[in-house]
Chains A and B, each alone.
Chain A
């Protein structure tokens, strides 16, 4: 079987598994977030933390809870890293330097998992387990919680369409409230992330991923040399790293490391894990707004964008244009033998489309146009399918913008799911859309204007610009993957990229919660002949078009100077 045929079959299997999982996973999440009862273990957690699980929160309170949780998360993780030398299981590593500790704390809190450090030579087992991996869980849970709150704002007070399909008007849904952040957070961890991660960890261990607490074990190799075999609780961290679309590797080389991703089938399993939640959330959305077709439209737009991007990216890698790939005869630089080029492209596309940022091959060495495709994926704003939760709310903001633009064209008051899109709502949507490109482009511009920061590039010329542009795009979009040649463990980059991650995470969350808050206040309008139907393929096409056109207009100049210039030059 040829390499390319095998690559296509791998994609087909992945798509099939995602389709099979769409309903059960989406329905499970629907039940989790609409259930009126609390599990016993959840009651214990609420009692320990002193929150009233039955109190609803308006958008302001919900947002304040998110911010409080984020602040405390950064502080605790920063503290853990700083005092590492005094913790058990530190493997002899000292405290992490302040700029790097700040960068890493923000990085994991924001679900970015940008890594300016090398795991095996910086972080001890306890910081990895009780610091970084905990944020892997809760940052994913925060993203999903915010997405669910936004959906509640849109779904508010809608009459059930069919028995069992409507949102049950439970205590959490009353008034202008968007739910309770602490309840959403707890349920996401307890009912969704933990159970599936336990299973996934066992699967990964069966494949060869390690789960131990050893330090470096020195062995004499076959030829009499020395090698240190590293240890660690890797499999348990790997599971949530992918399933929570986090991406922070236990080791520097992330999922390319044989202890994180030992075989070609664990590779596909990890790709499935990182796509599973973002691709299933539209089902949850559809059920919560009482019209499953709305969810199908969202997921189909995600799928079309993803398959388009995958086709382009994988084709560039397979054709291996450019000087070095031509000299080599394949785009194998930075890829592992067991994965091969097609399954490496597949992982790279999935990770950049989902804000995961884990890598199983090194994007810096991709062909220039293959690398440009990965950059474009992140520039899409992590919506196809995006990160856990953030992908769904990003897509909903784009849907609001699309309805608004379409409303202007046909001269009617735009409305989405029965909610009128007034100036307040569209202002929040526009700010949501603009903030990330603004951070990415301004950051790149400033870095290129500073001689010392320019010198951090490993490669010169157009490829060097791509490295810096990739770094800021990755940070602002909370992706976390890198054109890893650039030396970013400097005070300036740690600080600047930390700020980009922080603002790129929290500001969009605030804007989208504010938008949801104002939707929640509205009584839904009845659909009329003038209402733009948002459950048909026509709307899916408009939504996909809006996404691509907005991104192209925003980022084309920067792309032209970086990877496109390099690709044409070659």
Chain B
């Protein structure tokens, strides 16, 4: 019945009809049939989202989706193992998943300019975020929080060095610690004989030569890598075994449990590498904390 149409019109008509057929087959029949199969026992709980409950049978989340274990002000709660930093919304928000997407040389902080009252321009560089987390976790868990390229105060140890001549030649005229806003006291008093000053809002730090100060922190910091970096999804349900080990003493102390008991719980919630060599061993934080609450319930 379409034989009288010109060739191009027939092609488009065929295209539309075949696309509609595939929309029904691949777009409805395929996912819905699998949805039906997913109702089988054994598959259903997983297909439904691996939901988990607390001791009272209340659904508290998904074993696959990480959570923040912080109080209303965002401070970590000592009786819980802490998750990794998250860039998903305000942290572990499944409706706003995200990574930080900050690059490896993102080291210069942006500070808020009070002159523009309506907007807050503050943006911590990735380096400062890493330094601050390491500093805070070090204090929280009682270990050395220092890292390379970080100041003792937990910001990036980055200098802008200004020279008299063009192309960074001639004597040094001025040195600014770019991640320390005045009136902070710079982490370094002098650089090449020149006094280091803190940064003021008007400083054009991009004009200076960027110098990173390694400092005397150990190359293998006490706070593990995953503890100071945001995950890809922002929902990472797991932490490394190293970060779990670091937290055992604090959790055991606050809960009044022997460290060995907590250690065995950590081991019970550790997933090894699949087949012995895929991925990394990891500890499921929500499941571990649920197990701890079952052992020593929170005082209501």
Contact = CB atoms under 8 A, between A and B. Distances in A.
B273 A264 contact: yes
Contacts of A366: 104
A7 B160 CA distance: 39
B48 A210 contact: yes
Interface in B39-57: 43, 46-51, 54
A49 B15 CA distance: 8
B34 A339 contact: no
Given A120-B97, A327-B147, A362-B101, A336 B18 contact: no
A189 B25 contact: yes
A463 B64 contact: no
A211 B40 CA distance: 12
A65 interface: yes
A325 to B, nearest CB: 5
A337 B239 contact: yes
> Which of B12, B26, B71 neighbours the largest number of chain A CB atoms within 10 Å of its CB?
B26
Contacts of B278: 6, 10, 13, 264-265, 267-268, 343
Interface in B1-42: 2, 7-8, 11-19, 21-23, 25-28, 30-35, 37-38
Interface in B60-101: 60-62, 64-65, 67-71, 77, 80, 84, 88, 92-101
Nearest to A131: B27
Interface string B255-283: 00000000000000001011111111010
A222 B280 contact: no
A242 interface: no
Given A71-B15, A223-B77, A333-B230, A340 B279 contact: yes
A330 interface: yes
B187 interface: no
A68 B14 contact: yes
Given A206-B43, A222-B289, A338-B271, A324 B105 contact: yes
A360 B236 CA distance: 12
Contacts of B237: 258
A327 B67 CA distance: 26
Interface in B102-132: 102-107, 126-127, 130-131
Contacts of A409: none
A198 B22 contact: no
A483 B277 CA distance: 29
Given A129-B28, A259-B49, A221 B274 contact: no
- Of B12, B33, B99, most buried by chain A (CB within 10 Å of CB) is B99
Contact of B34 (A208, A221, A235): A235
B99 A365 contact: yes
Interface string A45-56: 100111100000
A8 B37 CA distance: 36
Contact of B69 (A121, A223, A231): A223
A330 B94 CA distance: 26
A253 interface: yes
A319 interface: no
Interface residues of B, number: 110
Nearest to B26: A137
Interface in A175-230: 182, 185-186, 189, 194, 197-198, 201-202, 205-214, 216-217, 219-223, 225, 227-230
A336 B233 CA distance: 7
B221 interface: yes
A407 interface: no
A210 B15 contact: no
A340 B31 CA distance: 31
Contact of A365 (B2, B102, B228, B282): B102
A212 B47 contact: yes
A236 to B, nearest CB: 4
A202 B46 CA distance: 11
A216 B34 CA distance: 21
B225 A257 contact: no
A566 interface: yes
Contacts of B47: 205, 209-212, 235
A262 interface: yes
Contacts of B70: 223, 225
B11 A65 contact: yes
Interface in A216-275: 216-217, 219-223, 225, 227-231, 233, 235-237, 240, 251-253, 256-259, 262-265, 267-268
A229 B62 contact: yes
A485 B100 CA distance: 8
Contact of A208 (B50, B71, B150, B220): B50
B274 A263 contact: yes
B274 A51 contact: no
Contacts of A339: 279-280
Contact of B225 (A235, A264, A328, A368): A328
Contacts of B221: 329
Contacts of A45: 18, 21
B169 interface: no
A334 B17 contact: no
Contacts of B54: 222
B197 interface: no
B30 A220 contact: no
B149 to A, nearest CB: 4
Contacts of B80: 222-223
A463 B101 contact: no
Given A211-B47, A336-B232, A338-B238, A134 B279 contact: no
Contacts of A368: 103-105
B99 A253 contact: yes
Given A120-B95, A219-B61, A206 B232 contact: no
A523 to B, nearest CB: 28
B51 to A, nearest CB: 7
Contacts of B92: 227
A290 B11 CA distance: 32
Given A118-B97, A202-B37, A364 B277 contact: no
Contact of B14 (A50, A131, A228): A50
B225 A222 contact: no
B234 interface: yes
A162 interface: no
A200 to B, nearest CB: 10
A1 B276 CA distance: 9
Contacts of A460: 206
B177 interface: no
A221 B65 CA distance: 11
A229 B19 contact: no
A461 B106 CA distance: 10
Interface in B212-244: 212, 219-221, 224-226, 228-240
Q: Which 9 A-B residue pairings sit nearest by Cβ, starting from the closest?
A: A264-B279, A256-B232, A340-B280, A130-B27, A485-B101, A362-B99, A265-B274, A322-B104, A258-B64
Interface of B: 2, 7-8, 11-19, 21-23, 25-28, 30-35, 37-38, 43, 46-51, 54, 58-62, 64-65, 67-71, 77, 80, 84, 88, 92-107, 126-127, 130-131, 147-150, 206, 212, 219-221, 224-226, 228-240, 271, 273-280, 282, 286, 289-290, 293
13 contacts: A3-B280, A5-B277, A9-B277, A13-B275, A69-B15, A118-B96, A194-B30, A217-B49, A220-B58, A252-B97, A258-B237, A259-B65, A324-B130
Interface of A: 1, 3, 5-6, 9-10, 13, 45, 48-51, 61, 64-65, 68-69, 71-73, 76, 118, 120-121, 129-131, 133-134, 137-138, 182, 185-186, 189, 194, 197-198, 201-202, 205-214, 216-217, 219-223, 225, 227-231, 233, 235-237, 240, 251-253, 256-259, 262-265, 267-268, 322-340, 343-344, 359-362, 364-368, 371, 458-463, 466, 483-485, 566, 569-570
Given A253-B234, A324-B127, 5 more contacts: A205-B46, A222-B80, A323-B212, A325-B104, A458-B102
